[in-house]
Amino acid sequence: MKKYTTALTIAGSDPSGGAGLQADLKTFSALGVYGSSAIVAVVDENTCGVYGVHSIPDDFVAGQIRSVLSDIGADAVKIGMLHNSSLIRTVLSTLRQYPEVRNIVLDPVMVATSGDPLLEVDAIRTLRDELMPYCRIITPNLPEASMLLGMTINHQDQLEDAARQLSALYPDSKVSVMLKAGHLVDDKLTDVFYNAEDDHFLHFTTDRIDTPNTHGTGCTLSSAIAAWLAKGADLDMAVSSGKEYINAAIAAGAEYSIGKGHGPVCHFHNLWH
């Protein structure tokens, strides 16, 4: 019998389908990975904004994770929005019950594309100090990195130092950092990846695409990296391939009109014509 490559997303639900676990599952599928999910919150949102968050009880989230990992397993795990400290600790303690699952990619979601906050203020410290050291790679954008480091990061020249500083918070864990430059105003954007396992940097420079359809880009990139890690890629290849995928998804999604605000990327750009 054939065996699927598998990935688990632990994230909130986006009914508009562009972000959250819906984006993660689409990305897994587009990249040939069988996706499973543990829902941490049902979010009332669309392309224009976030209007409410209905939290799933912590013990029920833990039950979903255990049900998937004890049965199907996961070659990689992507973690998205975790809105409070209790939930963060629940997810961490549950994952620790499965030490064989180590390809953990964390997108430290704090603010939606629309600008709406998604993480309680007191949970930032818990995310930074407790969950992040357990992850193989984190994928913050500039506002998230600024909050995590307690400093303003708003210039391209700061990205290498910021990525290294984030990783240096965990000297015993070798947490790699993919720092995204999308919030800069330059016509060319250079994301910086610090590979903590091999102590080197990769730079990914792309032209800015003029499109409002950027809903779920962070979710999509992190889940693409997780999918490639699940398929056995090393960190450099997983990040490079994930970046290539999200660039193509943004470019293809720019050709579509959906919703009245920030539309989604085109997750199946390599399949739809």
HEC readout, the chain:
CCCCCEEEEEEEECCCCCCHHHHHHHHHHHCCCEEEEEEEEEEEECCCCEEEEEECCHHHHHHHHHHHHHHCCCCEEEECCCCCHHHHHHHHHHHCCCCCCCCEEECCCCECCCCCECCCCCHHHHHHHHHHHHCCEECCEHHHHHHHHCCCCCCHHHHHHHHHHHHHCCCCCCCEEEEECCCCCCCEEEEEEEECCCCEEEEEEEECCCCCCCECHHHHHHHHHHHHHHCCCCHHHHHHHHHHHHHHHHHHHCCCCCCCCCCECCCCCCCCC
Task: Report yes or no on 96 lying in a domain.
Answer: yes
The whole-number pLDDT of residue 273 equals 67
The whole-number pLDDT of residue 83 equals 86
Of residues 90, 219, 242, 266, which has the active-site annotation? 219
Kindly tell me if the per-residue pLDDT of 166 is higher than 70: yes
Tell me the residue range of the domain where 97 lies: 6-253
The whole-number pLDDT of residue 116 equals 61
In the residue annotation, 218 being an active-site residue is answered as: yes
Of residues 12, 180, 242, 266, which has the active-site annotation? 180
Can you give the pTM of this predicted structure? 0.95
Number of domains in the chain: 1
The whole-number pLDDT of residue 233 equals 98
Task: Report yes or no on 110 lying in a domain.
Answer: yes
Task: Report yes or no on 259 lying in a domain.
Answer: no
Q: pLDDT tens across 214-262, in order?
A: 999 999 999 999 999 999 999 999 999 999 999 999 999 999 999 999 9
The whole-number pLDDT of residue 183 equals 73
Task: Report yes or no on 261 lying in a domain.
Answer: no
Task: Report yes or no on 78 lying in a domain.
Answer: yes
State the chain's mean pLDDT as an integer: 93
Of residues 9, 113, 139, 214, which has the active-site annotation? 214
Of residues 17, 35, 218, 253, which has the active-site annotation? 218
Of residues 9, 94, 113, 217, which has the active-site annotation? 217
Of residues 18, 216, 242, 263, which has the active-site annotation? 216
Band of the pLDDT at 154, cuts 50, 70, 90? confident
In the residue annotation, 9 being an active-site residue is answered as: no
Task: Report yes or no on 258 lying in a domain.
Answer: no
Q: Is residue 136 within 8 Å of residue 106, measured between CB atoms? A: no
Kind of pairing between the strands at 6-13 and 34-45: parallel
Task: Give percent of the chain above pLDDT 70.
Answer: 96
In this prediction, residues 41-53 reach a mean pLDDT of 91
Task: Report yes or no on 99 lying in a domain.
Answer: yes
The whole-number pLDDT of residue 124 equals 87
The whole-number pLDDT of residue 32 equals 97
Residue 53 burial class via C-beta count within 10 angstroms: exposed 0-12, middle 13-18, buried 19 and up: middle
The whole-number pLDDT of residue 182 equals 76
Task: Report yes or no on 269 lying in a domain.
Answer: no
In the residue annotation, 180 being an active-site residue is answered as: yes
Q: pLDDT tens across 168-226, in order?
A: 999 999 999 999 987 776 778 899 999 999 999 999 998 888 899 999 999 999 999 99
Kindly tell me if the per-residue pLDDT of 113 is higher than 70: no
Kindly tell me if the per-residue pLDDT of 139 is higher than 80: yes
78 or 53: whose pLDDT is higher? 78
Which CATH number covers residue 236?
A: 3.40.1190.20
Cα separation, 177 vs 148, whole angstroms: 12
Q: pLDDT tens across 61-103, in order?
A: 999 999 999 999 999 999 998 989 999 999 999 999 999 999 9
In angstroms, the Cα distances linking 29 to 4, 26, 148, 263 are 11, 5, 31, 20
In the residue annotation, 217 being an active-site residue is answered as: yes
